């Protein structure tokens, strides 16, 4: 029996795992007590993750679809057929007729995404779309504008702050920072203030000193009132603003939104808003943060900006207890430039900024459906399920029908794969090597742990990096779009063969990261191998990051001009209550699911078999709805039927339906009717209402009506 150390890949906490393996079978899986950040913690998802390895529903062979029939094909056939179709499409319609979408299915598997991205660029296409553009690119735009670089990302100093103000996040359930539960409990124990702004009394809100149960979609107005009150009372940190920021006047001279006015819009007491402003501004140190609940709401960029600016206004940036910058072990700004080049791009439909090396995924369906000679005709989907996760899932279904070629690389026959021409079986994280480099802000200091493969994949399953490497070679283009690297690895492969060790110098994650970390990493590959529980690569030095601000002024731009102009155009939400009396939110997290992943993991699906519409007791009573009733939800974009979950933990006037459901469990060889799990929340969302600055769609605060069936 072998004992191996790796980390979980389901979310960004990357919890350390200890795995016992015998005859290529996992016989025990537990939290790694020696992991410096997670100290033996694994949530229910991590503990159940080994079930993905033996899940009978998982894909084990490549398939080609003919009509409604799936035929098993060999890898050489799959590569040959896909390459031939891609060549034909490119020859007839040009390079940009091929697109890639990569999802969050392997949240921390960086090399997979790099190879998928490199493959498309090597084909000459820049039609690359990723899942971050559905939930995070507002943040990267704010970082770029305020601090000069998109990956110059801030994070709260959770273990030292005296006041943590959270908008739209439930970290007690999302758990996406290592040790977050202990950090929040520690914060409470040392007497620091926790303020949560959320329409639900979430598990995190239950711990809060102040819970603001705001009307969804109105956070921007509460933030404007916080800024107004802080400036009116002279609570801003003038020294910090003078020394380190530009644009303060722009922020100060915005038309005021009084706490009373915000209270009317946000439907919370004005005294609560003034109390939050004063608690935050007078704390010795404070951090204001926002996450998914804001990112998927109306005005997501402006709201994110005003949260971030609150930290600058009160002097809480780059100081203990405030916001810090974790540089990580690799320079992500440089890596992204190397991958995508220095050309300034805008998205080709809406002209949105090209963030995280991607066009906004909200444009993909239209890029396929548009009546234009350079529309997208071939789509490769890696570790993603746009058919369930895109807003207006009906539009994506229509778009998928118009494609000349759809290839899905996935563990499961997900809803997108069910429409594909070819489905290629990929590994789960326990079956591949990799390194998590993309979100250093989820660690309290620069940290890296090699994600060790613990078992070999079954049958014909391959890691994504290998699939994209092989596809690159079949298409005659270099891996990672870099000929020098391709030629070097090919020479290495020849040498390895001559020496009788064919894999020794071949392209694989270990050899690739040996080079990359050797060239620009804060920790070298050899050190990662010697330290299976992970390596701390330095501390975050507060005060150092302000010297690295990369804006033209070399100071924090607290009020970027285009943000100010856009803010001046924002009107308070209108009164829609005569037509759609409720507001729908879809970003709620659950302890047993992660978006569309983990669909076949029995121990989790037993705990939660479906999603339900969470609604307030008073709203339910007024509609004669009782807990467990079937209800029909209607929005401007569509309708869906779902069971009601009647509760007091959500504010009146708001209903919540978790996304990632509507999954159809299906295996190509059984040809059985897919078994459905839950209701797809994106039957109710639209893809027309995009954030005007970053192009992200709106999944929250959607007017809706509900009736008992």
Q: Which chain residues interact with ligand SF4 by CB under 6 A?
A: 8, 10-11, 13-15, 42-43, 45-46, 175
Nearer to ligand SF4, 119 or 436 (CB): 436
Distance CA 106, CA 86 (A): 25
Quote the tokens at residue 106: 């392997």
Least CB distance to ligand SF4 at residue 35 (A): 10
Nearer to ligand SF4, 385 or 486 (CB): 385
Query: Distance between alpha carbon 79 and the CA centroid of its chain, in Å?
Result: 30
Least CB distance to ligand SF4 at residue 326 (A): 18
When CB distances to ligand SF4 are compared, the closest residue is 46
Least CB distance to ligand SF4 at residue 176 (A): 6
Nearer to ligand SF4, 42 or 535 (CB): 42
Least CB distance to ligand SF4 at residue 10 (A): 4
Paired strand residues for 98: 378
Least CB distance to ligand SF4 at residue 696 (A): 23
Least CB distance to ligand SF4 at residue 175 (A): 4
Least CB distance to ligand SF4 at residue 90 (A): 39
Distance CA 360, CA 354 (A): 8
Nearer to ligand SF4, 203 or 331 (CB): 203
Nearer to ligand SF4, 13 or 477 (CB): 13
Quote the tokens at residue 182: 């202990």
Tokens 């070819």 belong to 422
Other Cβ atoms less than 10 A from the Cβ of 571: the count is 5
Q: Say which residues have a Cβ less than 8 Å from residue 96's Cβ, sequence separation at least 6.
A: 124, 125, 126, 127, 374, 376
Least CB distance to ligand SF4 at residue 283 (A): 28
Nearer to ligand SF4, 45 or 121 (CB): 45
Nearer to ligand SF4, 14 or 537 (CB): 14
Distance CA 441, CA 444 (A): 7
Quote the tokens at residue 233: 């009372």
Nearer to ligand SF4, 35 or 555 (CB): 35
Contact by Cβ (8 Å): 652, 584: no
Least CB distance to ligand SF4 at residue 33 (A): 14
Query: Distance between alpha carbon 674 and the CA centroid of its chain, in Å?
Result: 27
Nearer to ligand SF4, 11 or 220 (CB): 11
Nearer to ligand SF4, 121 or 659 (CB): 659
The length of the chain in residues reads 709
Paired strand residues for 323: 156, 317
Distance CA 587, CA 591 (A): 13
Write phi, then psi, for 646 (nearest 5 degrees): -90, 130
Find, among 305, 291, 288, 303, the residue nearest to 194 by Cα. 288
Paired strand residues for 246: 557
Tokens 């997501």 belong to 300
Other Cβ atoms less than 10 A from the Cβ of 417: the count is 27
Least CB distance to ligand SF4 at residue 677 (A): 19
Nearer to ligand SF4, 166 or 405 (CB): 166
Least CB distance to ligand SF4 at residue 180 (A): 8
Nearer to ligand SF4, 272 or 595 (CB): 595
Contact by Cβ (8 Å): 620, 646: yes
Nearer to ligand SF4, 43 or 143 (CB): 43
Least CB distance to ligand SF4 at residue 31 (A): 8
Task: Name the strand (E) or helix (H) holding 608.
Answer: none
Quote the tokens at residue 569: 């155009």
Least CB distance to ligand SF4 at residue 177 (A): 9
Helix, strand, or coil (residue 51): helix
Q: Which stretches of 103-242 are assigned E, i.e. beta strand? A: 128-130, 154-156, 163-167, 193-197, 210-212
* Per-residue b or e along 666-690, where b marks 16 or more CB atoms closer than 10 Å to that residue's CB: bbbeeeeeeeebbbbbbbbbbbebb
Distance CA 352, CA 137 (A): 11
Quote the tokens at residue 540: 């975050």
Q: Dihedral sign, CA of 225, 231, 232, 234?
A: positive
């Amino acid at each position: 029996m072998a004992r191996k150390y790796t980390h979980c890949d389901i979310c960004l906490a990357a919890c350390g795992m200890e795995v016992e393996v015998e005859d290529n079978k996992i016989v025990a899986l537990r939290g790694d007590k020696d992991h410096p950040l997670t100290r033996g913690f694994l949530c229910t998802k991590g503990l159940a993750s080994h079930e993905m390895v033996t899940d009978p529903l998982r894909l084990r062979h490549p398939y080609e679809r003919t009509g409604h029939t799936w035929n098993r094909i060999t890898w050489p056939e799959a590569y040959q057929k896909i390459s031939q179709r891609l060549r034909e499409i490119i020859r007839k319609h040009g390079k940009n007729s091929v697109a890639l979408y990569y999802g969050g299915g392997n949240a921390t598997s960086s090399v997979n995404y790099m190879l998928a991205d490199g493959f498309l660029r090597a084909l000459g296409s820049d039609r690359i779309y990723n899942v971050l553009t559905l939930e995070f690119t507002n943040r990267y735009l704010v970082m770029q504008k305020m601090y000069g670089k998109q990956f110059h990302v801030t994070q709260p100093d959770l273990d030292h702050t005296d006041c943590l103000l959270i908008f739209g996040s439930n970290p007690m359930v999302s758990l996406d920072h290592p040790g977050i539960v202990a950090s929040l409990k520690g914060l409470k124990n040392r007497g620091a203030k926790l303020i949560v702004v959320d329409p639900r009394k979430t598990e995190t809100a239950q711990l809060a000193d102040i819970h603001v149960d705001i009307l969804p979609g109105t956070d921007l107005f509460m933030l404007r009132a916080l800024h107004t009150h802080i400036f009116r009372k002279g609570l801003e940190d003038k020294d910090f603003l003078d020394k380190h920021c530009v644009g303060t006047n722009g922020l100060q001279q915005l038309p005021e939104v009084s706490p009373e006015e915000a209270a009317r819009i946000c439907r919370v007491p004005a005294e609560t808003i003034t109390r939050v402003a004063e608690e935050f501004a007078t704390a010795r140190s404070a951090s204001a943060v926002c996450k998914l609940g804001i990112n998927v709401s109306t005005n997501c960029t402006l709201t994110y900006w005003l949260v971030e600016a609150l930290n600058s206004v009160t002097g809480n940036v780059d100081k203990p207890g405030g916001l810090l910058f974790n540089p990580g072990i690799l320079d992500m700004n440089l890596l992204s430039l190397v991958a995508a080049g220095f050309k300034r791009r805008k998205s080709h439909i809406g002209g949105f900024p090209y963030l995280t090396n991607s066009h906004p995924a909200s444009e993909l369906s239209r890029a396929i459906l548009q009546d234009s000679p350079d529309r997208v005709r071939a789509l490769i989907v890696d570790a993603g399920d746009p058919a369930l996760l895109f807003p207006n899932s009906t539009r994506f279904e229509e778009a998928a029908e118009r494609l000349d070629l759809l290839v899905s690389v996935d563990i499961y026959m997900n809803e997108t794969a069910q429409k594909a021409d070819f489905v290629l079986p990929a590994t789960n994280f326990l079956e591949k090597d990799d390194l998590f480099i993309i979100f250093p802000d989820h660690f309290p200091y620069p940290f890296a742990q090699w994600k060790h493969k613990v078992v070999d994949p079954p049958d014909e399953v391959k890691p994504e990096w290998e699939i994209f490497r092989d596809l690159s070679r079949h298409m005659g283009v270099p891996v990672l779009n870099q000929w020098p690297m391709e030629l070097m690895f090919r020479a290495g492969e020849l040498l390895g063969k001559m020496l009788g060790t064919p894999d020794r110098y071949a392209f694989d994650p270990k050899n690739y990261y040996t080079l990359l970390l050797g060239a620009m990493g804060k920790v070298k590959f050899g050190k990662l191998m010697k330290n299976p529980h992970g390596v701390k690569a330095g501390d975050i030095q507060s005060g150092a990051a302000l010297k690295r601000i990369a804006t033209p002024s070399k100071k924090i731009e607290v009020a970027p001009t285009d943000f100010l102009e856009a803010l001046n155009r924002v009107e308070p939400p209108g009164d829609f209550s005569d037509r759609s009396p409720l507001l729908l939110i879809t970003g709620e997290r659950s302890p047993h699911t992660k978006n569309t992943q983990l669909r076949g993991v029995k121990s989790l699906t037993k705990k939660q078999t479906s999603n339900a519409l969470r609604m307030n007791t008073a709203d339910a009573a007024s509609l004669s709805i009782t807990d467990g009733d079937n209800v029909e939800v209607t929005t401007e974009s569509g309708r869906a039927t779902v069971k009601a979950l009647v509760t007091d933990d959500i504010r009146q006037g708001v209903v919540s339906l978790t996304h990632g459901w509507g999954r159809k469990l299906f295996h190509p060889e059984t040809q059985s009717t897919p078994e459905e799990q839950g209701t797809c929340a994106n039957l109710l969302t639209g893809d027309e209402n995009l954030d005007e600055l970053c192009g992200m769609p709106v999944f929250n605060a959607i007017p809706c009506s509900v009736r008992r069936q």
